[in-house]
Amino acid sequence: MSASDEIIQKYQDGAEYDHGFVTDIDTIEVPKGLSEETIKFISNQKKEPKWMLEWRLNAYNRLQKMKEPNWQKPKYPKIDYQELYYYSAPKSFKDGPKSLDEIDPEIKKTYDKLGIPLEEQKRLSGVAVDAVFDSVSVATTFKDKLKDIGVIFCSISEATREHPELVKKYLGSVIPVTDHFFATLNSAVFTDGSFVYIPPGVRCPMELSTYFRINAQNTGQFERTLIIADKNSYVSYLEGCTAPMRDENQLHAANVELIALEGAEIKYSTVQNWYPGDKEGKGGIYNFVTKRGDCRGNNSKISWTQVETGSAITWKYPSCILRGDNSQGEFYSVAITNNYQKADTGTKMIHLGKNTKSKIISKGISAGHADNTYRGLVSVHPKATGSKNFTQCDSLLVGNKCGAHTVPYIENKNSSSEVEHEATTSKISDDQLFYCRQRGLNQEEAVSLIVNGFCKEVLQQLPMEFAVEAQKLVGISLEGSVG
Amino acid sequence: MINIKNLAVSVEDKEIIKNLNLEINSGEVHAIMGPNGSGKSTLSYALSGKDGYEAKGEINYNGENILDLNTEERAQKGIFLAFQYPIEIPGVFTNNFLRTSVNAVKKSKGEKEINAVEFLSLVKEKSQKLKIDKEMLSRPLNVGFSGGEKKRNEILQMSLLEPNFVIMDETDSGLDIDALKVVSNGVNAMRSPKRSFLIITHYQRLLNYIKPDYVHVFANGKIVQSGDWKLALELENDGYAKFLN
């Protein structure tokens, strides 16, 4: 079946969200609520060293004095943190899978359904996958092959045990424990996520990828990812996310930290397709994520690419701290909101080093009753002489009931730097649709073609293997948005 | 091929075309000429099924009344409208658009879709024949195209889609002599006993290049006189005034 056939079929079936199934497995859960006991339980489950537990408890203590931020555009009902579960793991993973053969067949099936087969032989060549199911990492493929060249790619839990010196040195060094409410919450209760270390001078030969899946009910997912690219190394990393359809909202509050040392480059891509809620806006994931990269060394580069199509509310600003001289930050974003979805997303580019450069390309698409906000900060500090920023924010409206907003903050504190900001807002016109349809495309195909054209600049940034997927996803996300 | 009976078309409750009757047989080229505001473009939109154009009566196409079919269904059945003002779609490469369109039509007929490599050689062949610069294909659809380029692009699309019934809505407007030749050569090359054309124009000029079988004068939403090619020459000399009362 061709891509457009699939779209039509799905449209007819009314099954807009493809990943909404629930996997029926026994899980271990902690007693409900946020407490020292919960944190100790998590740390114990992960067999963490003592310093890690102390680190978590410190965050928990700080959290007691913090308040949830409330400045964002999309508002949400108060979250009762004592009603949430902070840990959920398939029972069969009590001691963690030793090899891929030990993985529960039910979970393997889940990932197969999602198109992420875990068996290495089935993998797309050149993509290593870390799969996170609720709170635990269930498999990391190609681990041995990567080990040969010194690349560490494992779950963060394993890293705290096997590579404590690296975790101690870098964890929380980009997003301080007390950064803000959700970052601190994550620091206290984070469950799993990926850890990547690329040694000096190594160009990681394959795409590294993590696949996140929320399965259990009433469970928050607090993933933590830490990527360190040592001097003159390169890595490209991709994360994908889905969750079952559930009527209640689920919280996903991740922290992702990237560190690029001198001459290193990190390319981080996200295809986020969490359950967006139903057509009336019931249910869906609250995707409140803190992602920050630190270009710590001179001549380093960090590039964020995100395709955000899911979640009831997306609230995140993948950012770059351009500390090293001549360092570069990039942010490419496509945020699609349909039905009652809301997004408040953008980036922060903090220019600290000399001759630093940043580029922001943001494409927001609103359809249905959705509301889409770009919020961004470009801050050029007094010592960041000779720096440059270019920002382009385009919004596309589909229909008459959606909204698009652009909130750019720009600070330039020296006279030798340049900051450019361009913004456009447009609407898919009836004439464009008529033209496409007169050439034989149906309404859905026409919208998909026009929207894909609109965000092409961003989709081109994705690794090849995922660009096609993302294009399809763009079409599917906008089903039923016109007429 | 096309048999229009008692066609009335309203836009926002205003009747623009009244009681139109017209039969076009396979292989025929008909020209509709008329002054501004006579409802010529409305006719082209009604035939291609644009939303908002309320039509009553019958449009029989190969024996089937297509009044209830939507735009893409009519297009897939081989009705092609060459636009007076081709629409710009930023970010969508012309090449990609053309292939998507060709495949949408193929798919509707249950034919195998054409892959990128096959398409490239097809489009190369067609554009060479039409003397159309290939460079145009790697730019976003109609964005920044000159008037002439836009119309050439319409002709290229026509030759790729190989429709049965072609409506040309003032394709000659805004064209210089060279572009006019490209357009009319393209149309002439596609004339065949199996294909019909309805050419809508203000001026007789285009009809020097594309010789129609029939000419109809369109005024106040209906055909007020029909004749052969010589009627066009008459109009050129006398103007439309005598038909407007």
Cβ pair B107:A2 closer than 8 A? yes
Which residues of B sit within 8 Å Cβ distance of A? 48, 50-52, 70-72, 75-76, 80-81, 83, 86-87, 89-93, 96-97, 100-101, 104-105, 107-108, 113, 140, 157, 161
Mean pLDDT check: name the lowest of A87-96, A164-173, A438-447: A87-96
Contact A4 B104 (CB under 8 A): yes
Which strand ranges, in their side-by-side order, compose the sheet holding B14-24? Answer: B14-24, B2-11, B53-61, B64-65
Distance in Å, alpha carbon of A359 to nearest chain B alpha carbon: 19
Interchain CB distance below 8 Å, A441 and B90:
no
Q: Write out chain B residues lying below 8 Å of A445, CB-based.
A: 100, 104
* A3 pLDDT higher than 50: no
Mean pLDDT estimate for chain A: 83
Residues in chain A with CB shorter than 8 Å from the CB of B91 are: 450, 452-457
Cβ-nearest to B100 among A430, A441, A456: A441
Smallest CA–CA distance, residue B101 to chain A, in Å, is 6
All residues of chain B having their beta carbon less than 8 Å from the beta carbon of residue A434 are 50-51, 71, 87
Chain B CB contacts of A456 under 8 Å are 91
Of A4, A440, A450, the CB nearest to B89: A450
Q: Which residues of B touch A1 (CB under 8 A)?
A: none
Query: Confidence class of residue A1 from pLDDT cuts 50, 70 and 90?
Result: very low
pTM: 0.82
- pLDDT category at A467 given cuts 50, 70, 90 is confident
In this prediction, residue A123 has a pLDDT band, given cuts at 50, 70 and 90, of very low
Contact A454 B91 (CB under 8 A): yes
- Report CB contact under 8 Å: B104, A441: yes
At residue A271, the pLDDT reads 84
Residue A84 structure tokens? 């949430």
Contact residues, chain A, for B90 at CB < 8 Å: 453-454
Provide the terminal-to-terminal Cα distance of chain A, rounded to the nearest Å. Answer: 25
- pLDDT range class, residue A193, cuts 50, 70, 90: confident
Q: DSSP of A249-311, one letter per residue?
A: EEEE--EEEEEE-TT-EEEEEEEE------TTS-SEEEEEEEEEEEE-STT-EEEEEEEE---
Q: What is the pLDDT of residue A216?
A: 59
Lowest mean pLDDT among A158-162, A276-280, B57-61, B71-75: A276-280
Mark yes or no for CB contact B71/A450 under 8 Å: no
Please check the confidence at residue A10 and state whether its pLDDT lies above 50. Answer: no
Residue B170, min C-alpha distance to chain A (Å)? 16
Query: What would the two tokens of residue A265 be?
Result: 């480059």
How many other C-beta atoms lie within 10 A of the C-beta of residue A177?
20
**B86: which chain A residues are within 8 Å (Cβ-Cβ)?**
435
**A465 or B9: which carries more pLDDT confidence?**
B9
Between A and B, how many CB-CB pairs are < 8 A? 78
Three-state DSSP at A159 gives helix
The string of pLDDT tens digits covering residues A213-241 is 665 555 667 889 999 999 999 999 988 76
* CB-CB neighbors (< 8 A) of A455 in chain B: 91
| pLDDT confidence of residue A13 | 40
Q: What is the DSSP letter of A353?
A: S
Question: Tens of pLDDT along A235-264?
Answer: 999 887 665 555 667 788 899 999 999 999
pLDDT at residue A4 in the model:
39
| pLDDT at position A110 over 80 | no
Section A401-419 average pLDDT? 94
Judging contacts by C-beta atoms under 8 Å, the chain A residues touching residue B76 are 440
pLDDT at A423: 92
Q: Which of A434, A449, A455 sits opposite B50 (nearest CB)?
A: A434
Per-position b or e across A206-221, b if 16+ CB within 10 A of its CB:
bbbbbbbbbbbeebbb
The domain limits of chain B are 25-51+70-243
Closest partner residue to A438 (CB to CB) among B48, B108, B113 is B48
Cα distances (angstroms) measured from residue B159 to each of A435, A438, B169: 17, 15, 16
CA atoms within 13 A on the CB side of A146: 26
pLDDT for position A6: 44
SS3 of A42, please? helix
**Separation in Å, CA of A315 to nearest CA in chain B:** 27
Query: Cβ of B214: how many Cβ atoms within 10 Å?
Result: 18
Residue of B nearest to A458 (CA): B91
Phi and psi based region of residue A309 (left: phi greater than 0; alpha: psi -120 to 50; beta: remaining) = alpha
B104/A432 touch (CB, cutoff 8 Å), yes or no: no
Taking CB atoms and an 8 Å limit, are A440 and B72 in contact across chains?
yes
In this complex, do A455 and B91 lie within 8 Å of one another by their Cβ atoms? yes
Contacts of B72 in chain A (CB under 8 A): 437-438, 440-443
Q: State residue B133's pLDDT score.
A: 82
Residue B61's contacts (CB-CB under 8 Å, 6 or more residues apart) are: B1, B2, B74, B77, B79, B165
**In angstroms, what CA-CA distances link A441 with A338, A448, B76?**
21, 10, 9
Residue A262: per-residue pLDDT: 97
**Lateral strand order in the sheet of A136-140:** A136-140, A127-133, A207-213, A234-242, A265-272, A301-308, A328-337, A357-367, A388-398, A418-427
Residue range B142-190, pLDDT digits in tens: 999 988 889 999 999 999 999 999 999 988 887 888 888 888 998 999 9
Which of B70, B72, B153 to probe the A interface (max A CBs under 10 A)?
A: B72
Q: Check CB contact under 8 Å for A4 and B51.
A: no
Q: Which of A163-177, A271-285, B52-66 has the lowest mean pLDDT?
A: A271-285
Please tell me which of the candidates B81, B90, B157 has its beta carbon nearest to residue A453. B90
Q: How many CB atoms lie within 10 A of CB A425?
A: 14
pLDDT < 50: residue spans in chain B: none
At A212 the three-state DSSP class reads strand
Residue A438 to residue B71, Cβ atoms within 8 A: yes
Q: Pick the residue of B79, B81, B83, B101 with the most A CBs within 10 A to test the interface with A by mutation.
A: B101
Nearest-CA residue of chain B relative to A449?
Answer: B92
Neighbours of A22 (CB within 10 A): 13
> pLDDT tens-digit profile of B28-46?
999 999 888 888 899 999 9
Which of A438, A449, A454, A472 is most worth mutating to test chain B (most B CB atoms within 10 A of its CB)? A438
Looking at beta carbons, which residues of chain A come within 8 Å of B104?
4, 439-442, 445
The third-level CATH classification (topology) of the domain covering B25-51+70-243 is: Rossmann fold (3.40.50)
Three-class secondary structure of residue A91 per DSSP: helix
Burial class (CB in 10 A: 0-12, 13-18, 19+), A377: middle
One-character DSSP codes across A363-397: EEEEETT-EEEEEEEEEE-TT-TT-EEEEEEEEEE
3-state secondary structure chain B: CEEEEEEEEEECCEEEEEEEEEEECCCCEEEEECCCCCCHHHHHHHHHCCCCEEEEEEEEECCEECCCCCHHHHHHCCEEEECCCCCCEEEEEHHHHHHHHHHHHHHHCCCCCCCHHHHHHHHHHHHHHCCCCHHHHHCEECCCCCHHHHHHHHHHHHHHHCCCEEEEECCCCCCCHHHHHHHHHHHHHHCCCCCEEEEEECCCHHHHHCCCCEEEEEECCEEEEEECHHHHHHHHHHCCHHHCC
